[in-house]
Structures are given as structure tokens and as C-alpha cells.
Amino acid sequence: MATEPVVRNRVDRRRERTRNALLGAARKFLSEGRSAVSIQEITDAADVGFGSFYNHFDSKDQLFDEAVRSVLEVYSELRDEIVALYDDPAEVFAVSYRMTGRMQRQIPEMVRVLLHSGLSVLLRDEGLAPRARRDIVAAQEAGRFEPMNPDLAVMAAGGALLGLLQLLDADPEADAEALADEMTLRMLRMYGMDDTAARQLATGPLPALPQL
């Protein structure tokens, strides 16, 4: 039986615009490291009424959490579209790592949201960490990576990745592609790949980044 299409009326569309405006304002504040702003400042930046805030969020902390989640959703969609072309889990990990470094130049404000979230972003159930963990475990099971505690492996890779993104954010002139590839090479070697195999995965051709 066919599912009936969801009909969205004017009120639904207005509510969605308000919610998106609040999320956009929150992402901007977080990207600037300004989490101590008031709800009034957030609604002013979003150009919505103060009372509208509580129609969508119970607190500022909930809004900021949803703002981080929305960034991870964008990242996840981009990443999943890219790696769908690959079967080898070690290559999936390498491509994902290399492309994430390059994304800093494409979506710098969103990347800054993650940077200001710190290492706690690696403990979330969406985005970077669960995908990296899945790829690492699959690569271990396929004999491409040496056995290693997967949680430790994720934190090692994630910490290095956040460091790379911070470096690229601090230096707009840095070669994002070269640095992302070098960090990928070092991660692959840390996971037990020999230099030749790791270098092949860290320097091979990449698909174009999807357009936002």
C-alpha cells in the first residue's frame, strides 16, 4: 500500500524556517567559540521572536547540541556519498580521512563548530566516530589493519584529525590536500599497513567533493 505524501502547510513551513534560523545562529556562535551567549542574543541573531525559541528547544544547551548534530549530519551525508564508491574498508577509511581534511576548506564554519566541541565530538553516536569505528573494525576483520582496541583506534584517529583541522583553520595558506594525505599515511601505518600499501591508499585519486 502506497504511503500518503506528507502535506506541509504554511504553519509547518514557518516553524521549519524558524527552527533552521535558530540552528544557523547557534552554529555561527559555536563556530566563533561563543557558547556563553544568551537566548536573547541567539534569537536576535536568528531574527526571530524570543518566545519562538521555546516552541523548538527547551534550553540553550539543547539548541547547541542540535546545532552540533546538524553539522555531523551534513558531514555524514557528504562522507557517505563519497565512500559509497569503495569496497575495501581500509580504502574507505583512507578516503574518508583524506576527504575530511579537504572539507575544512569547503565548509570552514561547520568544521569550527566541531573544533570548538573538542574531543567530546568523538564520543557522540553520530558523525565521525561511529563511521570511523565501523571502518576500522571491518579493516581489522579483513586483515588490512592489525588488531587494536577499536575505541582506542577511533580516539587516536579522531584526535589526530581534529588536530589537522585545527592546523588548517589556523593557517589558511596551508596545503590542505598535502597535509590531509600525510596524516592519512601516518594513520594507516599506525594501524599496521606497510609503507607501500599505506602510501598507495594515501595518494591515490579521489572523487570530487559533493556540492552543498
For 143-200, write each residue's pLDDT tens digit: 999 999 999 999 999 999 999 999 999 999 999 999 999 999 999 999 999 999 999 9
Q: Are residues 91 and 192 in the same domain?
A: yes
Q: Are residues 21 and 47 in the same domain?
A: yes
For 9-34, write each residue's pLDDT tens digit: 777 788 889 999 999 999 999 999 99
Q: Are residues 118 and 101 in the same domain?
A: yes
What CATH number is associated with residue 124? 1.10.357.10
Q: Are residues 79 and 143 in the same domain?
A: yes
Q: Are residues 118 and 135 in the same domain?
A: yes
Q: Are residues 73 and 52 in the same domain?
A: no
User: Would residue 186 count as lying in a domain?
Assistant: yes
Cell of 156: 587516536
Domain that holds residue 49: 11-57
Average pLDDT over residues 134-143: 97
CA distance 140 to 57: 41
pLDDT at 4 over 80: no
Q: Are residues 171 and 127 in the same domain?
A: yes
Q: Are residues 22 and 79 in the same domain?
A: no
For 77-123, write each residue's pLDDT tens digit: 888 988 998 999 999 999 999 999 998 998 899 899 999 988 899 99
- Of the candidates 69, 95, 66, the one whose C-alpha atom is nearest the C-alpha of residue 81 is 95
Angle between helices 10-31 and 108-117 (to 10 degrees): 70
Q: Are residues 114 and 185 in the same domain?
A: yes
* pTM, entire model: 0.85
At residue 151, the 3 state secondary structure works out as helix
Q: Are residues 51 and 74 in the same domain?
A: no
> What was the pLDDT predicted at 209?
77
CA distances from 115 to 17, 27, 42, 138 (A): 26, 12, 20, 27
> What was the pLDDT predicted at 207?
87
User: Would residue 4 count as lying in a domain?
Assistant: no
User: Would residue 161 count as lying in a domain?
Assistant: yes
CA distances from 154 to 80, 128, 139 (A): 18, 9, 13
Q: Are residues 36 and 97 in the same domain?
A: no
The total of structural domains in the chain comes to 2
